[in-house]
Each structure stands twice: as structure tokens, then as C-alpha cells.
Amino acid sequence: MTATALPHEVTGQTLLELDGASLTIRDALEVSRRDRVVRLSEPAARAVRASRRLKHELIDREIPIYGVTTGFGDSAHRQISPAKAGRLQQNILRFMGVGTGPIAPPEVARVTMLLRANCLAKGNSGVRVGLIEHLLELLNHDVTPYIPERGSCGASGDLAPLSYVGRALAGDGFVSFDGERRPASEVLAALGIEPFMLEAKEGLALTNGTSFMSAFACLAVGAARELADLADLMTAMASEALIGNRGHFNAFLFDQAKPHPGMVTSARHIRELLADSRLVADSDELFPGGLNGAGFRELDRHVQDKYSIRCAPHVIGVLRDVIDWVEQWITIEINSSDDNPLFNVAGGRVESGGNFYGGHIGQAMDSLKVALANLCDLIDRQLELVVDEKFNRGLTANLIARFDASHPEAGLHHGFKGLQLCASAMTAEAMHLCAPTTIHSRSTEAHNQDKVSMGTIAARDARSIVELAQNIAAIHLMACCQALELRGVDQASPRTEDAFRLVREHIPFLDRDRYLDEDIATTAALIGSGAMSEFVG
């Protein structure tokens, strides 16, 4: 790294060294939160230098090398002289600067930069060490490019989005710095960083890959795991609010009878969360005694709770098991050479292929979308049980505060009615977004990219469902806390009561109708921080 980079000893960030092979999703999430400072490892730097040497040897032989001494895509049959190779790389940033739509959040841009650097650090791309160091220098200063989200089919990688990363390195376009949108040239000058001039292959190496879609994927799967923990917590809280049957989560049903790993984990979490609760009882505790000689009796409660409570581990467990294999695929992807062509140093040749193709990320995100949308539906159904006086076992209609019939406020308030409407609407939107994206391939780029992955759109949709799920969960968490307070939170288990207390530090009891949009946003932010999932496991 250059002298202007912020040392981790000063910033308090921990050091992350990139070697192109061992980056984890957790590393990416920590970089997204600015908890790490990043540099290139020395072994990786040696591999990078070796591939660049091979690149120049092959260029000097004046053989056609795709995207290096030929045009791009369908223009690959047009060879140029080595003298023009650098200018060609500048031009890919220009003609691919076609992004539209909203600007990707800073955390997405940070992870995108990290993943692009790690791909190049693998030492197969023929770039200079200085290019990677320049990219990491901007990342460590939290100079993030403005990247429009739309414009990638996920075929030849994320060409359009990643071109904005290259623009920032060149001191062109706009970046975010100190929370402001500023010209890249102005920020680089203020930091004493020279704009980076690309040489042969470097523009293509920056743009030709899956780093943008993989950034969304890392963030989506990280949030999804926290949502799974939160769903376990809310299931326990809802079970208590509904005076439920904790026997539905007994170990025999899962560890022995049907041991899908995700189900086993969620059932254990809920079982442990309900330990010592005085609001729930096990199956054999619900109905002491027998018929005492009678031929029939009407029970005062059902032997089994509704599916959205009883079968919660079976829904949340699917999400957990999907996350496990999705994480494996993402981890392979972010530690791969995903550009083209690649330089085979051991074989002494250049290799053209399709490693930029986002098929695994697209399929992983389509699967994650469905599991997340099912989770949204589960949460929405639990919410219905808690707020509906027909099902909530003596709680108030819409969880309104209890008023005596003679109280002047009696009959005026509607409590969680609007919140349930909002949750249902967002659940419907999540279900709409979970339709598979990867099957909608579009032939493009003069029929050269005739089968594309659509991975970027799938990953962006997964991010959108995560955001919807966090807001749906925020409403249900607020409802569970309201219900427990009406029921008597002092009878809840110690762990669910601790979760309740944390929410109450941010959101007060709903004692009368008030605007609730800010309450939703505050609770969703609390969920997004990961604080609620800490009560689980």
C-alpha cells in the first residue's frame, strides 16, 4: 500500500490481507461496516507480477489476445497493435459507462471493491500490483464509487457497474467521501492520490467479473442468517403471547424423528428460548387429569397450535439449510478468477473462457429469495394470530391498550391494525420478487452474449426481499413485545424478556394510536444491526 493509506494502528481497524484464496463472507461483511483495513499479501503480489510478465511476453509476440490486442465481445475478430492496448482499456470504461437506476449503497460499493481486488490478487489476470494497491487505497479511505445498480445481465460479468469502479480509480466520475457526493478527481487530489492510468488488460480485468452481484449476495446472505435467528426469537415470543405448547419444539421431533440440520437448529433455539417461561407449557402439562368417567369434554384450548407456530422450525430450517450451501457457493465465487482472459503462468499461455458468468450466484440468489419470501409469509401469519382477537387467546383486538368501557378513550383506538396491513402488503411484494430471475436469459451484445446468467438482478432482488423481511419482522417484533406486555412480560422466559427490554429501549408501549412509520424504521435498524439475533443460540 502507498504512504497515504490509513494505517490500521491509527484507525483501530483490524488488518485483512488478500491472497485471492481465503476471503470469507464474514470478512466482506466486516469491510462493509468499515471494521477492517485491507492490503495485498506479499505472496499474492508475487503471483500478480508473474502473470503480468507473461502477459507482456505474449503481447510482444503480437498474437491476438482477446480484450488485450483485440476488440471486446463481438468485436474480438478485430486485432490492434500493442501500442494501442492501453487506450483500448480506457475506452471500455467509457463505452460501458451506461448504468441507470438508483446508486448502490456505500456498503455494496465497499464489498464490490474488496471482491474485485481479491479476484485480481489471485494472480491470473495480468494486471499490475499497483492497480490492486490503488483500489485498496481508495477502499481504506472509504472513497466509494457511485455505481448505478441497473445495466448488468450478469453474463460477461458486471461490465457496466464495475466500469464505475474503474472510473473512480482514473479520477473520473463521482464518488462518496465523508458522506458526500463529490467528483473523484477532487477527492483524489485532496488525498494526494494520482489518477490511475490503465495498461493492457487492466480495464477488462476491472469490469469483467461477478464482484457487483457477489457483493449483493454477501450482504443478503449475512442478513438472512440474522433474520433466521430473529424468526426463532419471534416464534418463541409469539408462542408465549398465545399461551402456546412448547412441546412442539421438543428434541425428539427433530433430533431423532426428522433431523434436517436447519430444523434441528431452529427447534433447539426456540426450545431454549422458552425454557423457564410461565406462559407456555409442554403437551403433557396442558390437560392434567382425564375424563373422570365422562364420555366427552370440551377442552379450553387446542392440543396443537397453528402451523405458523408449530411448523416454524420447518420453515426457518429451510432458510438455514439454503444459507449453508449458498454460503459455500459464494465463498468459492469470491475466491475465484472471474475475468477473461486469464494468464496461465505454469503453462506459459493465455486462456480464454467464461469465468465471468454469474450462474452460481444467480441460482444461489434465486433459491435464497424463495426461502426468504417463505420466511416473510411465516412472520406475517404469526402476526395475524397475535393481533386478531379471534385467535390471540384473550389479548385485545389489534393489541390496543386495555380501556374500561367507561373510559373516554374506549373505542377510539385501532392499535396494530395499520401495521398488519403494511406487513401483508410487504409480504405480497416479497412473494412477487421471489420469482426466478435466472430463467429469463436475454441474448444481447450482437448475439455474442446469447445465454446470460441474470445473476445481478437476482442478487439485487434478494437484497430487496431482505429489506422487506427486516421491515415485516420489525412490525412482528413490535407486536410480540406489545402482546407480552399485555399478557404480563414478567411471566416470560428470561431470554425473551431480555429481548423485550432491548426493544423497549427504542420503542415505547403503544398506549394509544400514534404515527408508527418511525417506529418501524427504528426497529428495522435495530434488526439490521444484528443486536436481536444475539439473544439466540
pLDDT at 455: 92
Grid cell at residue 486? 399485555
pLDDT band at 519 (very low <50, low <70, confident <90, very high): very high
DSSP H/E element including 144: strand 144-145
pLDDT band at 452 (very low <50, low <70, confident <90, very high): confident
CB 3 within 8 A of CB 26: no
CB 87 within 8 A of CB 186: no
Alpha carbon separation from 392 to 8, 240, 415, 483 (Å, rounded): 53, 11, 14, 9
Q: Tell the burial category of 182 from Cβ atoms under 10 Å away from its Cβ (0-12, 13-18, 19+).
A: middle
Instruction: State the Cα torsion 194-200-201-206 to the nearest 10°.
Output: 10
The answer to whether residue 6 scores a pLDDT higher than 50 is no
In this structure, what are the phi and psi dihedrals at residue 38, rounded to the nearest 5 degrees?
A: -120, 140
Pairing of strands 144-145, 36-40: unpaired
Q: HSE of 264 in the Cβ direction (CA atoms, 13 Å)?
A: 10
pLDDT band at 491 (very low <50, low <70, confident <90, very high): very high
Instruction: State the Cα torsion 158-163-169-172 to the nearest 10°.
Output: -150
Task: Give the pTM.
Answer: 0.94
Listed residue (432, 398, 392, 426) closest to 412, CA to CA: 398
Share of the chain above pLDDT 90, in %: 79
Helix axes 129-140, 159-169, angle to 10 degrees: 90
Distance CA 74, CA 449 (A): 9
Distance CA 25, CA 214 (A): 10
Distance CA 368, CA 347 (A): 39
The answer to whether residue 495 scores a pLDDT higher than 70 is yes
Higher pLDDT, 409 or 192: 192
In this predicted structure, which of 63-77, 187-201, 301-315, 325-339 has the lowest mean pLDDT?
63-77
- Across the chain, which distance is largest between two alpha carbons, in Å? 100
Q: What is the average pLDDT value for the chain, to the nearest integer?
A: 93
Q: HSE of 62 in the Cβ direction (CA atoms, 13 Å)?
A: 3
Question: What are the structural domain ranges in the chain?
Answer: 8-209, 219-285+301-339+351-535
Which amino acid appears at position 116 of this protein?
R
Alpha carbon separation from 253 to 63, 248, 311, 342, 525 (Å, rounded): 66, 8, 11, 51, 35
pLDDT band at 275 (very low <50, low <70, confident <90, very high): very high
Name the architecture of domain 219-285+301-339+351-535. Answer: Up-down Bundle (1.20)
The answer to whether residue 83 scores a pLDDT higher than 90 is no
Task: Tell me the per-residue pLDDT of 97-148, one tens digit each, with 9 for 90 and over.
Answer: 999 999 999 999 999 999 999 999 999 999 999 999 999 999 999 999 999 9
Grid cell at residue 54? 507473461
Helix axes 85-95, 159-169, angle to 10 degrees: 120
pLDDT at 95: 86
Q: H helices of 170-260, where?
A: 184-191, 202-207, 211-241, 251
Query: What DSSP string runs through 15-45?
Result: EEEE-SS---HHHHHHHHTT-EEEEE-HHHH
Task: Tell me the per-residue pLDDT of 350-400, one tens digit each, with 9 for 90 and over.
Answer: 999 999 989 999 999 999 999 999 999 999 999 999 999 999 999 999 999
Name the architecture of domain 8-209. Answer: Orthogonal Bundle (1.10)
- Residue 164 is a catalytic residue: no
Task: Tell me the per-residue pLDDT of 198-213, one tens digit each, with 9 for 90 and over.
Answer: 999 999 999 999 999 9
pLDDT at 11: 55
Of these residues, 66, 164, 307, 357, which one is catalytic? 66
Tell me what the mean pLDDT of segment 18-22 comes to: 97
3-state percent breakdown (helix, strand, coil) of the chain, nearest 5: 55, 10, 35
CB 6 within 8 A of CB 37: yes
Which amino acid appears at position 350 of this protein?
V
Tell me what the mean pLDDT of segment 405-428 comes to: 92
DSSP H/E element including 380: helix 359-387
Alpha-carbon 478 to chain mean position: 23
pLDDT at 86: 86
In this predicted structure, which of 71-75, 474-478, 485-489, 504-508 has the lowest mean pLDDT?
71-75
Query: What DSSP string runs through 258-322?
Result: ---HHHHHHHHHHHHHTTT-SS-B-HHHHS-S--TT-S----SS-SS--HHHHTHHHHHHHHHHH
Look at the alpha carbons of 257, 537, 286, 485 in this order and tell me if their dihedral is positive or negative: negative
**What DSSP designation does 444 have?**
B
pLDDT at 5: 44
pLDDT at 120: 98
Higher pLDDT, 1 or 261: 261
Alpha-carbon 216 to chain mean position: 6
Distance CA 416, CA 421 (A): 9
